[in-house]
Structure formats: C-alpha cells, structure tokens
Amino acid sequence: MAVTGMESMIAAVDIGGTRTRVGLFREGELVSRASFPTEGLREVVRALRELLRRAGVRPASIGVAAPAPLDMRRGVVLNCPNLPHWHGVRVVEELTAEFGCEVYLANDATCAAIGELEFGHRARDFVYITWSTGIGGGIVSGGRVVWGKDGQAGEVGHMVLVPQGPHCRCGKRGCLEALASGTGIARAARELLGEELTAAEVVERAREGDHTAQRIISRACEALGQGIGVLWEVVEPEMIVLGGGLTRSWDYLGPMVVSAAREFARTPPRVELTPLGDDVGLYGASALHRHLSYFR
C-alpha cells in the first residue's frame, strides 16, 4: 500500500496497571480500539501496527499515557513498581523509530484529566482522580493542565492522610493510595479476612453483608472522601471527577465517598464520574499534543 495519499489518524496508547488500550482517532472521535493485558513496549507496537493495518491508515502522531514516575522531557518511563516490563523504557525514542511520527508521553492520570477537559464534562477547573489498582490524579486550572516543574503534578494518591498508617508502595505510610486503592483494599482483606481477594470481590462481600468487608470498604471510602475534601479546599474546583475500575461500583461506594468528602470540606464538594469510562485515558492521550506547550 502506498504511503502517499493514505489517510492519517492520531493514535493513542494507555498503559494501565492491568490492561493496555490502544485507539485511533479521527477528528476527536475514537474510531477503532483494542485492549490487552499489559506487558511490554513490544506488545504495544504489535497492537498499534495491527490497528493501523486494519484501518488502512498511518499515524499522524502517537500520544502515550503511562504510569508514573516518568521523565517527560526525555520521554522515558522510569520504574513502575507494579510493571516489570516498564523500567527505564525509552517510549518516545522507540515509538518514533518504529512509526516515524511525533510521539508524546505523559502521566496516565494527567492524560485522563485532559480527556475529561476536552471530551468529558469540559469543566475549566477540576481535579481528576483515578480510583483503581492505584490512585492517580491530574489538575486542570482555568482550562490548563497543571504540569508542575517536571510534569508530575497532581499525584494525589501520595497525600499522607494518616501518619503511621499502612505502608505505601512509595515508601511512605498512610498515603491515600495505601488507604483507598484497589491494592490497599486487597491488603486490608488479606490482613482482616485472611483471604486473597481482589478489591471488586471485597466490595461484593460488603454488599452481601459481610461486616469485616463492610468495615474495609467504608474505611477506604472515608479516606478517598478525606482526600477529595482536601483537594476541594486547596484547588477550589468546579467539580472533582472520578474514573477507574472501582467507580464501577459507584452505586454502592459513591454515597459513602461523598458523605465523607462533605465532612472534610467547608462547602459540599461536587463529585462526578467521567462519562468516558475506561477510555478516558485514551481520549486524553489523543489530545496530549495540544497541552504540552504549557509544559516547559
């Protein structure tokens, strides 16, 4: 197939803790997608090639959302504690060499915030929180992404809420992530129920009336509500937007989170779920190039 005259589309990649998503966008519309269990960069390249081949297009650019910590200036994913294939991977350099187009890389939760900004509620001032295996975040103020000095701003999961609380994978104790993430819930279940359960399974046990599971879940929801209350006071957003796997049980968890958030803020925080669901990071990665000029 000749390259000249072939349509080009923006490609997006979202490397998640458990699944990786790839997608193709035409004028802001997700027209083709695939997802698979997260492995390494080779699998990303293979999935992107397959998607492009099936659509018969070439990539105009590629936006990549990856878990922190990463070096945005060099385009490198540094060392994800939970992802063994992603230590020191030169994502921008390698994908540029593979596909011959511009490649952009940013923190996954910041990408999700960009997705929300451009395709979700489109609020000008909000904090996005991923409530999933881990807890990440992104801040948008006055319609602009708050990047911070090195592009790592908005790491809300590592706000310490309970000094001397449970150990966090970051090395500190009592972080929001240690208290309320899927990993934190699973660890509490291991300690208090003596079983290996996923966070979703603990939620189910709680729904079914298991008192210990209910205590684990209500503690996690209280911690998240506390974090939301703090962010509400510090950022003065229009809303706090949540996404991530645990929000699938929002009918059960939401009321607990919102009532805790009210306890920790002077005015009732407005909490919304992203309408983009699991694709929020992909949407943001597709629009990433438009927001990097603010990152110096």
Give the dihedral sign, CA 31/288/138/76: positive
The minimum distance between CB 177 and Zn ion, in angstroms, equals: 5
The minimum distance between CB 133 and Zn ion, in angstroms, equals: 14
The minimum distance between CB 63 and Zn ion, in angstroms, equals: 27
Report the residue from 168, 188, 256, 273 that binds Zn ion according to the rule CB under 5 A: 168
| Residues touching Zn ion, count (CB under 5 A) | 5
Span from 8-16, 63-71, 80-88, 154-162 in contact with Zn ion (CB under 5 A): 154-162
- Cα separation, 135 vs 82, whole angstroms: 13
The minimum distance between CB 80 and Zn ion, in angstroms, equals: 14
**Pick 68 or 242: Cβ nearer Zn ion:** 68
**Pick 55 or 160: Cβ nearer Zn ion:** 160
Span from 84-92, 117-125, 166-174, 210-218 in contact with Zn ion (CB under 5 A): 166-174
- Cα separation, 74 vs 91, whole angstroms: 9
**Pick 24 or 175: Cβ nearer Zn ion:** 175
When asked if residue 175 is in the footprint of Zn ion (CB under 5 A), the reply is yes
> Which two tokens mark 160?
């310490």
Span from 116-124, 146-154, 164-172, 234-242 in contact with Zn ion (CB under 5 A): 164-172
> Which two tokens mark 291?
């927001």
Per-residue binding string, Zn ion, 242-281, x by CB under 5 A, is: ----------------------------------------
Residue 175: enclosing H or E segment and its boundaries?
A: none
When asked if residue 170 is in the footprint of Zn ion (CB under 5 A), the reply is yes
**Pick 41 or 168: Cβ nearer Zn ion:** 168
CA 283 to chain centroid, in Å, comes to 12
- Cα separation, 210 vs 208, whole angstroms: 6
**Pick 168 or 258: Cβ nearer Zn ion:** 168
Report the residue from 158, 205, 219, 291 that binds Zn ion according to the rule CB under 5 A: 158
DSSP category for residue 133: S
Cβ atoms of residues 123 and 144 within 8 Å: no
Strands (E), 179-245: 239-243
- Cα separation, 132 vs 247, whole angstroms: 8
Q: Helix, strand or coil for residue 239?
A: strand
Apex 154 CA angle, 151 and 160, nearest 5: 130
Residues of this chain that bind Zn ion (CB under 5 A): 158, 168, 170, 172, 175
